[in-house]
Amino acid sequence: MLAVDGITVRFGGITALDGVAFTVEPGTAVGLIGPNGAGKTTLFNCLTRRCAPDGGTVRFEGEDLLALPPHAVAERGIARTFQNLGLFPRLTVRENVMVGAHSRGRTGHLAAALRLPRVRREERELRDQADDLLRRLGLADVADQPASGLPFGTLKRVELARALAVRPRLLLLDEPVNGLSHGEVGQFADLVRSVRQDFDLTLVVVEHHMGFVMGLCDKVVCLDFGRKIAEGAPEEIQRDPAVVEAYLGVAV
């Protein structure tokens, strides 16, 4: 489904990603781990066209993703969440989710200003869909509140709801349980597992919480200093000496 090949990104003198390659099969969940600064988020940014790699290719279902303009990525069925939340603080929770459905709407400026019947219909549909998602994720009570000022755990779910509103086939989660309490991590993992099933999602997850990654993912890719140092099933990765070294250092 997703094939990343030889991707290289340089920021000035620093090589953030150095020839990273891996594939994601449809319906699987791939974990992306590595110490801070390993290039995980940079890789995500390449996949969503937030940053242009200096070399390499990214193909999504055979299509060259790097040739698309940034706003067209959502249309292809790719959604993501952000590491430190990328919500719209002054919009309500429902509006946030409705922005997620932007690429599925057709209303243009003129039609919107005249509020043609088809605009009303589309608004109603998008609103109903958003409300369904909010109910599904237990957010119906906060639908009309502005996104700023809600608890962090709730905002994480709002962001997930917004990403789901894109109707993605590939969902990229950037540190989804970062900053959550121990109990919340478990709940969030259950939630991700159930929406993955219901919405038939392929997942790529960046996360430091090993319990979360190992419990969710079918395959784990480990990066260190922009290089792929290991790839395999979660159990293999946990035993891999290179991964252990990268995380804990090596005994002298």
Residue 238: strand, helix, or coil: helix
> Which of 148, 238 has the CB closer to another protein?
148
Asked whether position 66 contacts another protein by CB under 8 A, the answer is no
Asked whether position 109 contacts another protein by CB under 8 A, the answer is yes
Among 71, 118, 121, 135, binds another protein (CB under 8 A): 71
Separation of alpha carbons 16 and 57, rounded Å:
16
Neighbours of 72 (CB within 10 A): 13
At 176, the amino acid letter reads: P
Please report where in the chains the tokens 């995380």 appear, as a residue.
247
- Region from 84-92, 188-196, 199-207, 233-241 binding another protein, contact rule CB under 8 A: 84-92
Among 10, 59, 102, 227, binds another protein (CB under 8 A): 102
Among 31, 56, 100, 176, binds another protein (CB under 8 A): 100
Asked whether position 123 contacts another protein by CB under 8 A, the answer is yes
Asked whether position 73 contacts another protein by CB under 8 A, the answer is yes
Separation of alpha carbons 130 and 138, rounded Å:
12
Separation of alpha carbons 149 and 141, rounded Å:
14
Which residues ranging from 133 to 172 are in contact with another protein (CB under 8 A)?
145-146, 148-149, 162, 166
Asked whether position 87 contacts another protein by CB under 8 A, the answer is yes
At 114, the amino acid letter reads: L
Asked whether position 74 contacts another protein by CB under 8 A, the answer is yes
Nearest distance in Å: CB 9, another protein:
11
Separation of alpha carbons 106 and 135, rounded Å:
25
- Region from 22-30, 52-60, 104-112, 193-201 binding another protein, contact rule CB under 8 A: 104-112
Asked whether position 52 contacts another protein by CB under 8 A, the answer is no
> Which of 127, 193 has the CB closer to another protein?
127
Residue 74: strand, helix, or coil: helix
How big is the CA angle at 101 (ends 100 and 102), to the nearest 5 degrees? 90
Among 10, 50, 193, 208, binds another protein (CB under 8 A): 50
Buried b (16+ CB within 10 A) or exposed e, 108-144: eeeeeeeeeeebeebeeebbebbbebbebbebeebbe
Token representation of residue 56:
């390499």
Nearest distance in Å: CB 65, another protein:
13
Please report where in the chains the tokens 């459905």 appear, as a residue.
101
Residues in contact with another protein by the rule CB under 8 A: 41-42, 45, 48, 50-51, 69-75, 79-80, 82-84, 86-91, 95, 98-100, 102-103, 105, 107-109, 112-115, 119, 122-123, 126, 145-146, 148-149, 162, 166
